[in-house]
C-alpha cells in the first residue's frame, strides 16, 4: 500500500470551486460536533439500531450504499467526495477493498491518509476534484458517493457522471445518496432551497429527472431510484439539539461564529425543514450499472 498522499501525475484539468474549500475549512469544527469520526452525511436508521446512536446510523448509511455495489474482497472502488476518508476506511476494512478517495480540502487529505496508514488500510486519499480523477479508463469495479455529487455542475451533474463512466469497468456499479429536487421550487420554497445550497456551497441540488437523463447519456443502464427520506429523518433530527447546544455554548463562552459557520448552521436548519416538503425534496438512493 502506498502510505503517502498521492501527487497527481498530470496537470489538473478541473479546478475546484474555492467556495467549497472555504466552506469545509470554516465548518470543520461544526462537522466534528456532528461526527467525531468525520462522517459528513446523514445516517440511515433501521431496526434494531437505537434511535440515539448517531454513529451507528452514519455507518449504516455507508453500508446501505456500498451494499448496492455487490462488492467483493479485492475490488477497486472510488469514494467520490470522501471528506476525511471515514467512509473509505470503513469500506476498506469491512469489505477488503482498495479505495481511491477524492476531496478538494487539503486538511481532509492529511487527516484521512494518516488514519488509513495507522490502521493499515488500502485507502489512497487524493487531493483532487472528483470530476477529474486522473484514474485510468475502465479500471474500477465500483464507485460510490455519499451526499457529494451535488457538488457537480448543473441539475443533472453530467460532468461527474461522465467521469464515473470513464473510470468504471464495463458492468461496474455506481451507488449514491443525495438530496434531490423532484419538482421546480417556487416562491418562498425556492428561496429556502437557495439558502441551503449557498450555506453548504452547493452549486445546486440535483433534480431527479435531469440526473436520470444524464446517467443514460453517460452510458449507464439498470438505473434504480429508492426513496430513503424516512430512513434519514431520525438522524437528521439529531441536528436540532446539536445546533441548540452549539448556540448555548457560544453564548456562555462569548465565541462568535464567522459568516460561513452561520450560513452552514442556517442551511442545516433549513435543510431539515426541506425534508418535510415531500412534493419538492427527497433523499434518494440511486444505483446504476455501466453498460
Asked, for residue 277, whether it belongs to a domain, the answer is yes
Asked, for residue 2, whether it belongs to a domain, the answer is no
What pLDDT is recorded for position 183?
95
Alpha-carbon distance values, 193 to 189, 255, 275 (Å): 6, 28, 11
Asked, for residue 225, whether it belongs to a domain, the answer is yes
Span 28-40, pLDDT tens digits = 999 999 999 999 9
- Least Cα distance to 149 among 55, 214, 216, 93 occurs for 214
What pLDDT is recorded for position 250?
85
What pLDDT is recorded for position 1?
45
For residues 199 and 264, the answer to whether their CB atoms sit within 8 Å is: yes
What pLDDT is recorded for position 249?
86
CATH number of the domain that 153 lies in? 3.40.50.150
Q: Is 77 helix (H, G, I), strand (E, B) or coil?
A: strand
- Domain limits for position 155: 18-290
Phi and psi angles of residue 261, each rounded to the nearest 5 degrees, phi first: -65, -40
pLDDT grade for 101, boundaries at 50, 70 and 90: very high
Q: Which residues of 6-24 are buried (b: 16+ CB within 10 A; e: fewer)?
A: eeeeeeeeeebeeebbebb
What pLDDT is recorded for position 254?
86
CB neighbour list of residue 21: distance below 8 Å, 6 or more residues apart:
104, 105
Grid coordinates in use for 24? 469545509
Asked, for residue 243, whether it belongs to a domain, the answer is yes
Give the mean pLDDT of the chain.
94
For residues 232 and 43, the answer to whether their CB atoms sit within 8 Å is: yes
Span 205-214, pLDDT tens digits = 999 999 999 9
Asked, for residue 60, whether it belongs to a domain, the answer is yes
Asked, for residue 9, whether it belongs to a domain, the answer is no
Q: What is the H or E stretch that residue 112 is in? A: helix 106-118
Grid coordinates in use for 269? 436548519
Asked, for residue 1, whether it belongs to a domain, the answer is no
- Integer-rounded Cα Rg, in Å, for the chain is 18
Tell me the H-state helices in 131-207. 158-167, 187-199
Per the structure, the count of domains in the chain is 1
pLDDT reading at 7 higher than 90: no
Lowest mean pLDDT among 11-20, 196-205, 232-241: 11-20
pLDDT grade for 251, boundaries at 50, 70 and 90: confident
Asked, for residue 103, whether it belongs to a domain, the answer is yes
What pLDDT is recorded for position 9?
47
On the 0-12 / 13-18 / 19+ scale of CB atoms within 10 A, 210 is: middle
Span 116-137, pLDDT tens digits = 999 999 999 999 999 999 999 9
What pLDDT is recorded for position 14?
79
Amino acid at each position: 500500500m502506498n502510505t503517502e498522499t498521492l501527487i497527481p501525475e498530470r496537470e489538473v484539468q478541473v479546478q475546484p470551486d474555492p467556495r467549497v474549500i472555504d466552506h469545509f475549512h470554516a465548518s470543520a469544527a461544526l462537522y466534528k460536533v456532528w461526527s467525531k469520526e468525520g462522517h459528513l452525511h446523514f445516517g440511515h436508521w433501521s431496526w434494531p439500531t437505537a434511535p440515539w446512536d448517531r454513529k451507528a446510523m452514519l455507518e449504516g448509511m455507508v453500508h446501505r450504499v456500498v451494499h448496492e455495489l455487490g462488492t467483493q474482497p479485492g475490488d477497486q472502488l472510488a469514494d467520490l467526495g470522501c471528506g476525511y476518508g471515514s467512509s473509505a476506511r470503513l469500506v476498506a476494512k469491512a469489505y477488503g477493498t482498495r479505495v481511491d478517495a477524492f476531496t478538494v480540502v487539503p486538511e481532509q487529505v492529511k487527516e484521512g491518509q494518516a488514519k488509513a496508514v495507522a490502521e493499515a488500510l488500502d485507502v489512497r486519499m487524493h487531493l483532487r476534484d472528483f470530476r477529474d480523477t486522473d484514474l485510468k479508463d475502465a479500471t474500477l469495479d465500483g464507485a460510490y458517493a455519499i451526499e457529494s455529487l451535488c457538488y457537480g455542475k448543473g441539475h443533472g451533474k453530467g460532468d461527474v457522471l461522465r467521469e464515473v463512466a470513464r473510470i468504471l469497468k464495463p458492468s461496474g456499479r455506481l451507488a449514491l445518496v443525495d438530496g434531490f429536487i423532484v419538482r421546480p421550487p417556487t416562491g418562498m420554497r425556492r428561496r429556502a432551497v437557495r439558502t441551503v445550497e449557498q450555506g453548504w456551497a452547493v452549486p445546486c441540488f440535483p433534480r431527479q429527472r435531469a440526473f436520470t437523463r444524464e446517467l443514460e447519456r453517460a452510458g449507464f443502464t439498470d438505473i434504480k431510484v429508492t426513496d430513503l427520506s424516512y430512513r434519514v429523518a431520525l438522524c437528521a433530527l439529531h441536528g436540532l439539539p446539536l445546533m441548540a447546544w452549539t448556540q448555548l455554548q457560544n453564548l456562555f463562552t462569548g465565541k462568535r461564529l464567522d459568516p460561513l459557520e452561520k450560513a452552514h448552521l442556517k442551511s442545516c436548519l433549513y435543510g431539515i425543514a426541506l425534508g418535510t416538503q415531500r412534493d419538492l425534496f427527497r433523499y434518494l438512493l440511486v444505483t446504476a450499472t455501466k453498460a
